[in-house]
Amino acid sequence: MRGDLREAARGKGIMVSICFYFQVHQPFRLRKYSVFDVGHNHHYFDEQRNEKEMRKIANKCYVPANAIILDLLKKHPEFRAAYSISGTAIEQMRLYAPEALESFRKLALTGKVEFLNETYYHSLSSIYSKTEFKTQVEKHRQMIEDEFGQTPKVFRNTELIFNNEIANTVMNMGHTAILAEGVDRILQWRSPNFIYTAATAPKLKLLLKNYRLSDDIAFRFSERSWADWPMTAPKFADWVSAANGNGHVINLFMDYETFGEHQWESTGIFDFLRALPAELLKHPHNDFVTPSEAALRFPPAGELDIHQLISWADVERDLSAWLGNKMQKSAIEQLYALEKQVLESEDERIIDDWRKLQTSDHFYYMCTKWFADGDVHKYFNPYESPYEGFIWYMNVINDIKIRLNELKIKVIA
Amino acid sequence: MKVLMFGWEFPPFSKGGLGTACHGLVKGLSGKGVNILLVLPSYDGDSQLSNVNIIAADKLKNIEVRKVKSLLAPYMTPGEYLTRYQTGDSKSKGIYGRNLFEEVDRFAAAAEEIAKSEQYDVIHAHDWLTYEAGIAAKKVSHKPLIVHVHATEFDRSGDNPNPHVYAVEKRGMEEADAIIAVSEYTKGKIVKNYGIPAEKITVVHNAIDQRPNVSYAPSKLRETDKIVLFLGRITLQKGPDYFLYAANIVSKRIPNVKFILAGTGDMEPFIIEKAVELGLADKVLFTGFLTGPDIDKAYQMADLYVMPSVSEPFGIVALEAMANGTPTLICKQSGVSEVIRNCLKADFWDVHDIAAKMISVLEHPALKETMQEEGSREVSKFSWNESSRKCEEIYARLLAARA
């Protein structure tokens, strides 16, 4: 009977659909590659550390959270979820945590979980090289097909980086929808709880993150100084349902590490996740959608004209976490300046190393934005300081330059 | 609130961080309305200093200064004392102690006379040379004593502490009602080496005065060379030898770098000989002891300031370098590394890491510029007011415990 109510509510437009998307990503962290290593060895990545991090996150988050999601999918036929998993994360799962990859495959087999398309290397190529961007998106699409047996139609860019130009590129690549941050300065009086299009991409549906509700889970869940602590599934379900009649879709977008890593198991985050779908479904006007279903179901409520680059990072929701200081800009410019030479080398190892260096985390580690206040950036930084992050990175870039020159010499000789 | 303080002459009359710290704290306390009777060892042999702004302590409000003629100087070793004693004029020999420890006791006796005739609430003594004076004052007045540890004998002499100095330090710490350490690093040394319970020690980090930034014309040297700077006493504690060994590695990779050592000290002859031996005679330059604006000029001409100290209880110089917009590389064995982040850090003994970081700063303008910008922004938040506020809290706590 509840299903009938839902159908009726949908007809009247007072229903709200909930769209979960979880980001799964791990970078290939660099080791402390010294200036004295340059030209002597090409061993850039900290395998031990990468293995340790992947094992930890698989145990604390991917495996237990996937078990809960699988359970929820069995228990509630209406439940849906979407994931975007970077190519670098998949590669590390293959190497260090095959059971985690297997648990994602099980989710895919339910047919109710959508896998999104992104740049394979979780890169900033959308800003620096359109050809490299398309190559990485295609490589990622291929990988999703191989791993999960579905062809992704919806695109999510690294850190939800978005503007008109990216929308146009993605539309022309044949995607049906794209995810972005529901930034206040872009939306102004509008609600993130509708589908939009970008001025430059009329055929591409735009799904905007409801950052208040998303961050209630991702950031504030265990925050004891928060007025609404402790947050419970019934309380959250009420907040979501308050949008009934005033929106089509609530986009709850967050890092998957929210479950078990950013919010530890002891905070009750897994119990919350386990209880939430049933609470949401208690309201007869709620249901769940994947991003593809949302794009198909809802007409655009308007057109947004977004010239400046936006993202889901920090309070600024811009690119300053990756490209805010001179080190970051210099490092990324030198990286992309090598593009032509690297690709022409046709040396697969050099190409692979160069692409792993494109992962946005490397630039994030060089961030000095709130560094003096000892904020969240420090937590994620594997190096002693952003300055060291820059130093190791540039040493690697210089070594790649040497390898490229050696190749050239070989060709001439 | 009135404090009987055994301190040190302000820069430039006192060399090193001790005079700077005394100045900063006294000025901060003065601004908070704390009255201070400041007792200073005073020696006029060094005072032929020109081109410097002399800060007169007695011009500060709430501050009264009493100078006691003495040959004592900050961080003085027994050997340095003898040098000063023997080079003085003949009549001084009748007045001053025949060795450092006699002079410490003589200063303490003078302090006791002052302590008897004055009214005050607490006693605050800066570094070991004044601990005996503090103890003497406590004996006659029964007022609480705070000893302020700016360095320990273990910082100055490594693993070979002078047993007599150690004994004076330990007695001061034991007689004190509270101890102030300039860093967590120093607090750890006090607990470990002097057997003092941690709860008796409060950390009050040093700071830096915010002052108008004077920019000097770029040095001629900069037209042809990059410059890496060492600034401090050329003594075992400051690690000039590690600086030199790192310089040797760097100059093999980058030809046009000059390494400047600004300062004097007993290791200078060794460093000069070693530089020649390594073939660095034309790369390593010595400026002698710098004062006033010359210090800022040295920072500003440098592409990088390096503080490779073997043990640095705090290291105010690092803050001064950053305030001048100079990228800074400091040893991890320092107090200042607890409070600044926009700099590079290395173990003093890891010459390869120091060299690698020097090379990176010299080779990557973006690294240098980001360190300049973020470093000067970071130190612009430091203030002696915060340090003196913590001292005032300690005074209040001790008095409350007595009431």
pLDDT of B86 higher than 80: yes
pLDDT of B278 higher than 90: yes
Question: Where do the domains of chain B lie?
Answer: 2-207+383-402, 220-379
Q: B352, A34: Cβ pair inside 8 Å?
A: yes
pLDDT of B186 higher than 60: yes
Select the residue of A36, A331, A384 nearest B356 (Cβ to Cβ).
A36
> Does B271 contact A at CB distance below 8 Å?
no
Calculate the alpha carbon distances from B161 to A210, A218, B314, B325 in Å: 64, 54, 19, 37
Per DSSP, the three-state class of B306 is strand
Summary mean pLDDT of chain B? 92
Calculate the alpha carbon distances from A106 to A60, A63, A100 in Å: 18, 11, 10
Any idea which residue has 């600044």 for tokens?
B340
Local structure of residue B55 (DSSP, 8 states): P
Per DSSP, the three-state class of A321 is helix
Q: What is the pLDDT of residue A245?
A: 75
Is the interface score ipTM higher than 0.95? no
Q: Chain A residues contacting B, CB < 8 Å?
A: 34-36, 325-327, 329-331, 368, 371-372, 374, 384-385, 387-388, 390-391, 394-395
Q: CA–CA separation, A73 vs A47, rounded Å?
A: 35
With bands split at pLDDT 50, 70 and 90, how would you rate the model's confidence at A378? very low
Instruction: Tell me how many degrees the CA angle A363-A369-A374 measures, rounded to the nearest 5.
Output: 105
Q: B374, A372: Cβ pair inside 8 Å?
A: yes
**Residue A344: active-site member:** no
Nearest CA in chain B to A332: B366
pLDDT of B149 higher than 60: yes
pLDDT of A187 higher than 60: yes
Residue window 8-67, chain B: list those with CB within 8 Å of chain A.
none
pLDDT of A396 higher than 90: yes
pLDDT of A383 higher than 90: no
Q: B367, A387: Cβ pair inside 8 Å?
A: yes
Please compute the mean of the pLDDT values over residues A154-163 and round it to a whole number.
Answer: 98
pLDDT of B12 higher than 50: yes
Q: A387, B371: Cβ pair inside 8 Å?
A: yes
Residue window 354-373, chain B: list those with CB within 8 Å of chain A.
356-357, 359-360, 364-367, 369-371, 373
In tens, the pLDDT along A80-105 reads 999 999 999 999 999 999 999 999 99
Q: CA–CA separation, A106 vs A89, rounded Å?
A: 17
In tens, the pLDDT along B233-270 reads 999 999 999 999 999 999 999 999 999 999 999 999 99
Which superfamily is assigned to B220-379 in CATH?
Glycogen Phosphorylase B; (3.40.50.2000)
Could you tell me the pTM of the whole model? 0.91
Q: Which of B319, B328, B364 to mutate to test the interface with A (most CBs of A within 10 A)?
A: B364
Q: What is the pLDDT of residue B52?
A: 41
Q: CA–CA separation, B37 vs B141, rounded Å?
A: 14
Dihedral sign (CA A8, A10, A16, A18): positive
pLDDT of A40 higher than 60: yes
Summary mean pLDDT of chain A? 93
Q: What is the pLDDT of residue B61?
A: 83
Q: A391, B378: Cβ pair inside 8 Å?
A: no
Provide DSSP, B70-113.
----TT--HHHHHHHHHHS-TTHHHHS-SSHHHHHHHHHHHHHH
* CATH class of domain segment(s) B2-207+383-402: alpha beta
Q: What is the pLDDT of residue B60?
A: 77
B chain contacts of residue A401, beta-carbon cutoff 8 Å = none
Active-site residue, selected from the candidate residues A118, A132, A147, A159: A159
b/e A37-76 (16+ beta carbons within 10 angstroms → b): bbeeebebbbeeebeebbeebbebbbbbbbeebbebbeeb
Task: Name every residue whose Cβ is closer than 8 Å to that of residue A78 and which is 6 or more positions away in sequence.
Answer: A277, A281, A287, A288
Per DSSP, the three-state class of A113 is strand
In tens, the pLDDT along B33-79 reads 999 999 999 876 544 444 344 456 667 788 888 889 898 988 888 98
Residue window 325-344, chain B: list those with CB within 8 Å of chain A.
341-344
With bands split at pLDDT 50, 70 and 90, how would you rate the model's confidence at A413? low
Q: B345, A327: Cβ pair inside 8 Å?
A: no
